[in-house]
Amino acid sequence: MQEFNPKIIAWSGQYENLEGESHERHVVFEFASYAEVKRFYESPGYQAARSIRAGAATGTFVLVEGPSFDTK
C-alpha cells in the first residue's frame, strides 16, 4: 500500500454496529483521489493479497468519494 500513500483515518477502535452487516475489525483509509484508490484496488499487488485473503477471511471493501474541499 505504501506506493499509494493512503492515510489511516480509523483502525479497529471502539465501534457500535447500529445497522447492517457487522464486522470484527474496521480500517478506514483516505486516498488522494477516487481514481487513486481505484488504481490501488486494481493493482497487481492488491489483487495478489486479495487472492491470499480470500481463502482465510471475509471482508467488505467500499469506495466512498468524499466532498471536495478545493477552494479555487
pTM of the model: 0.74
Torsion sign, CA atoms 20, 21, 24, 30: negative
Q: Give the H or E element holding residue 8.
A: strand 7-11
44, pLDDT greater than 90: yes
Residue among 27, 37, 26 at smallest CA distance from 64: 37
The secondary element (H helix, E strand) that includes residue 37 is helix 34-41
Grid cell at residue 21: 452487516
CA distance 38 to 31: 10
Confidence of residue 70 (pLDDT cuts 50, 70, 90): low
pLDDT in tens, 18-42: 998 888 888 899 999 999 999 999 9
